[in-house]
Structure 1
C-alpha cells in the first residue's frame, strides 16, 4: 500500500512537471548556448586582482565545489518560471518511477514534450545538464540527437517504453521522432547510461 501511494505521488509530480514543460517553454524563452557563453565571460571589473584565488578542488569534491568559481545564470532572466529548474532536472526521475498502467502519462504528452529538434526539448536538456545553473554543463548531451523514443528508453520505466512502442507511429516518422527512431534510441541511450553510472560511482 505504501509503495502504491509513493508511485501515485511520483505520478502526480511527473504530471505537474510535464504540464509545465508543455505550456511554459516556447520560442521566446529558451536556454540558448550563445546566452550561456556570454554569461560565462568574466563579470568582475577587477580582473587582475591577485588576492582572489580560485577554489581548491580535488577529484573527490562535490559538484558544488567544482562549480563555485564558475559563472551562474538566472533562468528567470531567460523568460522561464520558478518551476523550470526543478521540472527540467527532475521530471526524468519521476518518469522512471511510474510503472502502473493507470498512472502512466499519455504517449501524446511525451511525444510533444520530447519532440525531436524542438526548442522545448533543447531547453529542458540544457537545464538538466546544469542543475545548479552553472554555465558549464556537467554532461555533454546534444539535444539534436534525441527524440521521444530515445528519451523514454533512457529515462522512462519499462512499462512506459513498452507503451510508447505499442502506441506511437514509429514508421510514420512524426515530428516527435528522429529518422530510424529505434536504432537512434539504442545508439544514444547506451552511452548515456554508461555516463550516468560513471557519475554515480564518482
Structure 2
C-alpha cells in the first residue's frame, strides 16, 4: 500500500513537472525523482509542458546535470530541434553535452550551422578558434562542402578537418588536395623499397 501511494505520488509529481509518464517504463523511480528535483530547481515545468520533447526529458533523467544546461539553453531561447541533434551527435561520439563548458554549448547552439554538425563543430573547432574571421571561414567551408554526404565530421580524416580552417577555392580543391597528400604519403613509404630494389 505504501509503495502504491509512493508510486502514485511520483506520477502526480511528474505530471505537474511536465515529464512524460512513459518514462517510468525506462527509468527507476529514484532517477525520475532526481529529475523532478532538477526540473523544479530550475523551473523547467513550463518549457517541458509546452515542448513535450521526450529526448530532452530522457536526458534530464539520465544526466541530472543537464537540468542546469537546459535551463540556460531555454533562457537564450534555443529550440529543442536545435538541442536534440546536439545530444544525438554527442551520443554517437560516446560523449555527453554536459561534459563541455556551458558557455561553449550556448555559443554553439546559436551558430548558423546544420544542427547535425553543431556538436562536432564544438568538439573539433570551437576550443581552438582564436579569431572571428577564422570561425567565419570554418563555418562557410562547412556550409559550402557536401556535409550531408559526410554524415558527420568524425568521418573525415584529421587532415580534412584541419583543412576546413583554410580559405578554399571549392570542393574540387578539397578532394584534390586530400588525394595528393595521400599519394605523397604512399610514395614516401615506398621510397625505401624502391632503393632496395624490392619493387
Return the TM-score normalized by structure 1.
0.22
Query: Normalised by the size of structure 2, how large is the TM-score?
Result: 0.22
Higher radius of gyration, 1 or 2: 2
Higher relative contact order (CA 8 A, sep 6+): 1
> Greater helix percent: which structure?
2
